[in-house]
Amino acid sequence: MELSLGDARATYRAELYVDRALILVHDDDVALPKGALLEIRADGLWAELVCETPGEHWGFGLEAFGLRYDDPADALVSDRAERVPVGLDLEWETPDHVVGEILVGRERIPVDATGTFSSGSPRRA
């Protein structure tokens, strides 16, 4: 997942690989998060990062529509693909443990994996 902050708008991008297909959620024109919450809302997109314990525990939520590309290379040249609902309900905690689930269409995919999290400042566009 990536959130790039500009002067007045933000870009959101999430890439998920499920059964060798790329599920891409991307919006180049999202209102900046308001207040202390890292939450964005746009047409067909809600995403949130929640710091439960600094440096130890983060929550990730996503409800959106994404595009499913059977060949990930097609995403570089086309915005035509199958539109699918996408959801994330994930938690990251030290030492690099990720648990939760990924939802794609009607499929629920349990997650119990390792993952690295960088809590540096969001990248500015």
**What is the CB neighbour count within 10 angstroms for residue 11?**
17
The pLDDT tens digits of the residues spanning 89-125 come to: 999 998 889 999 999 999 999 999 998 866 554 444 3
Domain assignments of the chain as residue spans, ordered by start: 2-114
Structure tokens at 91: 């938690």
Return the structure tokens found at 14. Answer: 């999430």
Q: What is the pLDDT, as a whole number, of residue 122?
A: 46
Torsion sign, CA atoms 115, 97, 117, 111: positive
Rounded CA separation 51/55 (Å): 8
Residue matched to tokens 């870009």: 11
CA dist list (Å): 15 to 23, 24, 34, 67, 107: 6, 5, 24, 10, 17
- Which tens digits make up the pLDDT trace of 43-87? 999 999 898 888 889 999 999 999 999 999 999 999 899 999 999
Tokens in use for 67? 């595009």
